[in-house]
Amino acid sequence: MIRSLGFSLLNRQPAWVAGLVLLLSLFGRAGRAEELPGLSLAVHSGSAADYQSIDGIYLFVPMGQPATPFVPVGPFTAVWTGSVLMDLRADLVFHAAFTGSLTVTINDAVALKADGRGDAIVDGQKVRLNKGPNRIQVDYRSADKGDAFVRVYWSGKEIPFNPIPLTALAHTPSPEIRAANEVRHGRGLFVEHRCAACHNVSNGAMPELKADAPSFSGIGSRRKFDWMARWIESPATLRPGTPMPAVFHGARGKTDSEAVAAYLISLKAPINLAPVTFPADAVESGKVLFEKLHCVACHGVAEATKVEAGKISQKQVLAKFTPGALVAFLKKPSEHFAWIQMPNFKLSDGEAIGLAAYLESVADKPLDRIVPIDESMVKAGRALVQNSGCLNCHRLDVPNAFIAKSLLDLKGSSWTTGCLAETVVEGSKAPKYVFSAEDRKALKAFAATDCSSLTRHTDTEFLERHSKTLNCRECHGKFEGFPTWGLLGGKLKPEWASKFIAGEEAWKPRPWLESRMPAFPAHAKGLGAGLATLHGYSPKTAPDEAPNSEMAKIGVKLVSANGGFACVSCHSVGDFGATQVFEAPGVNLAHSFERLQPDFFRRWLRNPPSIDSNSKMPAYFDDEGRSALADVLEGDGPKTIWAVWEYLRLGDKMPKPE
């Protein structure tokens, strides 16, 4: 049976109490340590195939784009396999919104089989799931034209209509997934280490292929000589895991590195930074701010003598930054490096000064080393910069004389010499990278492909890589006020998410939180779009029709305290403040329409605890989906939710509630 994605499906969903949403994994996973959360996904297009582990049964492939970067553009099939884990036996119905054709099979019984109707929900037939693991297979075939997408949901007596959560899914990674992950890792290393900057990739589609590195312009006003010399000679010693190679090595490594550092410190900015005088309380206020901003997510505890694995050391700030440069860097990290992973917290002058004071107070004392610098040394450094490949990554307005083979010329190579040689040959001009045995194996696996995946880009794959490099999960789901990572994609519209991630949103959804969302301007568009496509939504929100004015009028009443749900007790509506909760109010409802996916809003309002068990918002609908306000719209749940949505669609024009 097919129902409109509007509101008719919701009247069959039970309201479930918080804390009983998904008791699905504890018993089912017992004795199954070899399994991982999620499902296996196999995608075939033409003669190519890609395999991966995936968190849920959803995808979105815009017309004219590939399903993954590892298969060509065109019609494709996708097959999810694994287990659904149940604590108790239950009768459930599977539902889906999709284009193309879809078959859902549970324990070899067909639970849903149909052709898609776009944004219309297709209901399957009721099937019984047993206690423990239940085999699931979902076969999807895209349509020949148009966007391809699928979103699978489930519902039952005690399970509200929602996507199947990650905690209820399990799979055993196949040899195909392991092999594909190795290629995927090698491709990621190729991009992260800026290989394409020297080895040109024709028709490269990945945004990072054009990513910058720290600019050399005026760098002498921002960095100190001794730190730059040590960094250039051995970057991995100062920052384990850095993609920066040791360009100069061997017998002349130290001498050449110092010559380049001498040249770089000669590159002064038109206006040098002035030293900053720290107020008496700056260190203490900076420490408090360091904790509020959760800097430990990437840097660890500043006072710690040893750097945690995977964290970036802050102990070098005195050796690295010239006086005043650290404050300027904290205020705008991307000023001289657009693709930097350090986010912009939009610090005020006072906050930047306090944070800099604290970081300097716990930093290591710089080495007292004097290296004589003369004109010949600076001249030699300039020649090295121009002839050693530095300018393939770093910007500077001088001629670049370095040329390397294009990627096309490297095809067929084993990728075991030059940059990837395990043992550096004395006299070799190839930079020295610090790769693990696993990294080298992955790069060889990627080299064995035709490397055409570099010419394809998907927002989903961009999100998957950069959510790891930017440590998104180190905050989301771990600190108060940070939604869990899995919740964001099906919740936020991509345009608003991109704007928020870029730091371009003027208002703060939860202004009472001391923490704040940092900005990643260069990554924002891809992350926002990827959050949508990963969960089966378009990277571009479709235009809406004008709001239904009659339903919006009813929505005003429903939001108000006079005969409504009293939403205004916790939520503001534009300038109309929350009436009862003042210290930690909910999100201002005037911004809900611009932020939220309609599908998420319907599911959320129907039963908030079923989506977020920590939510303080109660469920206002009974087990039959009827509203507690029987005198409004005759208690019809879907119509009630529709009326609230039409009111929210008015945005900043929402009339003041009673």
Q: What residues form DSSP beta bridges with 151? A: 58, 97
pLDDT of residue 466: 96
Report the alpha-carbon distance of residue 123 to residue 224 in Å, rounded: 65
Q: What residues form DSSP beta bridges with 223? A: 321
- Joined together, the tokens standing for residue 63 give 């017309």
pLDDT of residue 603: 94
* Residue ending a domain, choose from 534, 562, 593: 534
- Joined together, the tokens standing for residue 269 give 């900015």
Average pLDDT, the chain: 91
CATH of the domain at 60: 2.60.120.1560
How does DSSP assign 465-518, residue by residue? HHHHHTTGGGTTTTSTT---HHHHTTTB-HHHHHHHHTT--SS-SSTT-SS---
Closest CA to 637 of 5, 2, 12: 12
Is residue 185 within 8 A of residue 193, CB to CB? The reply is no
pLDDT of residue 324: 95
CATH of the domain at 612: 1.10.760.10
- Going by pLDDT thresholds of 50, 70 and 90, the confidence category of residue 36 is very high
- The total number of structural domains in the chain stands at 3
Report the alpha-carbon distance of residue 414 to residue 71 in Å, rounded: 23
Maximal C-alpha separation, the chain: 88
Alpha-carbon dihedral 309, 441, 242, 421, rounded to 10 degrees: 130
One domain, residues 463 and 564:
no
Distance of CA 251 to the CA centre of its chain: 43
CA dihedral (126, 127, 133, 135) positive or negative? negative
Measured CA to CA in angstroms, residue 467 lies from 92, 193, 282, 524, 599 at distances of 33, 17, 33, 11, 24
What are the phi and psi torsion angles at 49 (to 5°)?
A: -140, 150
One domain, residues 510 and 553:
no
What are the phi and psi torsion angles at 453 (to 5°)?
A: -65, -20
Distance of CA 559 to the CA centre of its chain: 33
Q: What is the DSSP letter of 86?
A: E
Closest CA to 510 of 482, 471, 474: 482
One domain, residues 63 and 93:
yes
Structural domain includes residue 125: yes
Residues in the chain, total: 658
CA dihedral (73, 77, 83, 86) positive or negative? positive
pLDDT of residue 62: 98
Contacts of 182 (CB under 8 A, 6+ apart): 441, 442, 445
pLDDT of residue 128: 97
Tally Cβ neighbours within 10 Å of residue 202: 9
One domain, residues 139 and 27:
yes
Closest CA to 222 of 93, 123, 323, 129: 323
Distance of CA 443 to the CA centre of its chain: 24
Range from 16-20, 145-149, 268-272, 577-581 that averages highest in pLDDT:
145-149
One domain, residues 97 and 143:
yes
**Structure-token match 């939710």, residue found:** 641
One domain, residues 76 and 102:
yes
One domain, residues 522 and 557:
no
Structural domain includes residue 154: yes
Report the alpha-carbon distance of residue 506 to residue 220 in Å, rounded: 35
The pLDDT tens digits of the residues spanning 123-139 come to 999 999 999 999 999 99
One domain, residues 530 and 486:
yes
Q: What is the DSSP letter of 419?
A: G
- Going by pLDDT thresholds of 50, 70 and 90, the confidence category of residue 472 is very high
The pLDDT tens digits of the residues spanning 516-546 come to 899 999 999 999 999 999 999 999 999 888 8
Radius of gyration (C-alpha) of the chain in whole angstroms: 28
For the segment 577-592, the average pLDDT, to the nearest whole number, is 89
One domain, residues 17 and 160:
yes
Whether the pLDDT of residue 405 is over 50: the answer is yes
SS3 content of the chain, % helix, strand, coil (to 5): 35, 15, 50
Whether the pLDDT of residue 567 is over 60: the answer is yes
Whether the pLDDT of residue 3 is over 80: the answer is no
pLDDT of residue 412: 67
pLDDT of residue 169: 98
Structural domain includes residue 27: yes
> 263 or 543, which is more confident?
263
Structural domain includes residue 469: yes
Is residue 182 within 8 A of residue 441, CB to CB? The reply is yes
Closest CA to 81 of 98, 101, 104, 60: 104
Structural domain includes residue 601: yes
Q: What residues form DSSP beta bridges with 114? A: 102
Give, rounded to a whole angstrom, the gap between the first and last alpha carbons of the chain: 40
Closest CA to 325 of 235, 219, 238, 212: 219
Tally Cβ neighbours within 10 Å of residue 649: 21
H/E stretch holding 297: helix 296-299
Report the alpha-carbon distance of residue 216 to residue 228 in Å, rounded: 12
**575 burial class (0-12, 13-18, 19+ CB within 10 angstroms)?**
exposed
One domain, residues 490 and 598:
no
Structural domain includes residue 78: yes
For the segment 348-353, the average pLDDT, to the nearest whole number, is 96
Whether the pLDDT of residue 13 is over 70: the answer is no
Helices 637-648 + 598-606 axis angle, to 10:
130
- Going by pLDDT thresholds of 50, 70 and 90, the confidence category of residue 411 is confident
User: Which amino acid is it at 10?
Assistant: L
One domain, residues 83 and 159:
yes
pLDDT of residue 7: 33
Structural domain includes residue 334: no
Report the alpha-carbon distance of residue 568 to residue 188 in Å, rounded: 47
Report the alpha-carbon distance of residue 7 to residue 625 in Å, rounded: 11
3 state SS of 103: strand
One domain, residues 38 and 168:
yes
- Going by pLDDT thresholds of 50, 70 and 90, the confidence category of residue 12 is very low
Three-state SS for 344-385 is ECCCCHHHHHHHHHHHHHCCCCCCCCCCCCCHHHHHHHHHHH
For the segment 489-506, the average pLDDT, to the nearest whole number, is 95
* Residue ending a domain, choose from 141, 158, 173: 173
- Going by pLDDT thresholds of 50, 70 and 90, the confidence category of residue 307 is confident
Whether the pLDDT of residue 14 is over 50: the answer is no
Structural domain includes residue 293: no
The pLDDT tens digits of the residues spanning 625-637 come to 899 999 999 999 9
For the segment 341-365, the average pLDDT, to the nearest whole number, is 96
- Joined together, the tokens standing for residue 14 give 């039970």
* Residue ending a domain, choose from 173, 198, 225: 173
The pLDDT tens digits of the residues spanning 50-79 come to 999 999 999 999 999 999 999 999 999 999
Is residue 319 within 8 A of residue 226, CB to CB? The reply is yes
**Structure-token match 């939180």, residue found:** 513
Question: What is the span of the domain harbouring residue 470?
Answer: 459-534
For the segment 466-482, the average pLDDT, to the nearest whole number, is 91
